[in-house]
Amino acid sequence: MNSTARLRSAVLIAVLLAIWHVAVTHQKVHLLPTPLAVAGGVVELAQRGLLIKYVVASLFRVTWGFLGAAILAIPFGLALGWHKRSGMALNPLIQIFRPISPLAWIPISILWFGVGDMSAIFLIFLASFLPLTVTAMNAVANVSPVHINAARNFGLSQSQLVWRVLYPAVAPQLIVGLRITLGIAWLVVVAAEMIAVNSGLGFLIVDSRNAGNRYDLVVAGMVLIGTIGLLLDIGMRSFENIRSLRWGYSED
């Protein structure tokens, strides 16, 4: 993003904040807090030592659930895509489980792991595993047969073909899949924290609503969730700038 685009984004955010402030202050009944009240809520959380605590708790759960899913799902999906008969055999089962919302597993996760980090990590793992598996399978299917045949004609062994042709060919699609799935994982952790744990940004929203209708803290939690989600997405997009992967993305 160049400096002009950043300036436009900053101006747009400032305009939206001004509209928000004017809209709230001109209402007889203040159903929502003003931007200044929300900023004050963030400062209050920091002073009470809850800001870092809740952010770290949410990121901890996302990190372990997402990484665990990526470590297992990507090789699994690549193997199913490479061995087409196995992929065809397991694909119906994958498609049955994939539409089930991870939140539907909350009662089972609490039954298995109780109320705590493991329950939320399990839900994030479920939310990430199948999307990454399908992404890896599709990435293998999109590899041009010309590249595979050329590698075989040059006498590459099966392991050399996988490491020197397959992985470089699927890497750009995997980065996109990881970026999308990380967004899903971040959504799920917030929802899970509203039910299955007693810390984190999702818990902050519910607890603030129940403890005296502190809507300044509710909206502050929402702002923090959106900001961290943006930063996570920017972090994942930075992998697209790796020189060996840039061939897989169109130029702006």
DSSP 68-116: HHHHHHHHHHHHHHHSHHHHHHHHHHHHHHTTS-GGGGHHHHHHHH-SS
Nearest alpha-carbon partner for 115 in 200, 199, 197, 207: 197
Name the band, by pLDDT with cuts 50, 70 and 90, for residue 211.
confident
pLDDT of amino acid 131: 92
Over the range 140-151, which residues count as b (16 or more CB within 10 Å of their CB) and which as e? Answer: beebeeeebeeb
Amino acid, res. 119? S
Q: How far is CA 88 from CA 62, 79, 162, 163, in A?
A: 31, 12, 20, 23
Residue 124 has pLDDT above 70, yes or no: yes
pLDDT of amino acid 182: 92
Amino acid, res. 218? V
Q: How do residues 43-56 score in pLDDT, each as one tens digit? A: 988 998 888 999 99
Nearest alpha-carbon partner for 78 in 21, 160, 129, 135: 135
CB 164 within 8 A of CB 190: no
Of 27-31, 85-89, 131-135, the least confident: 27-31
Name the band, by pLDDT with cuts 50, 70 and 90, for residue 250.
low
Q: Taking the domains of the chain in order of start, what are their residue ranges?
A: 46-248
Q: How do residues 169-188 score in pLDDT, each as one tens digit? A: 888 888 888 999 999 999 88
CB 189 within 8 A of CB 16: no
Residue 88 has pLDDT above 80, yes or no: yes
CB-based contacts of 52, cutoff 8 Å, min separation 6:
46
pLDDT of amino acid 249: 53
CB 164 within 8 A of CB 238: no
CB 194 within 8 A of CB 203: yes
Place of tokens 């909350």: 106
- Architecture label for domain 46-248: Orthogonal Bundle (1.10)
pTM comes to 0.83
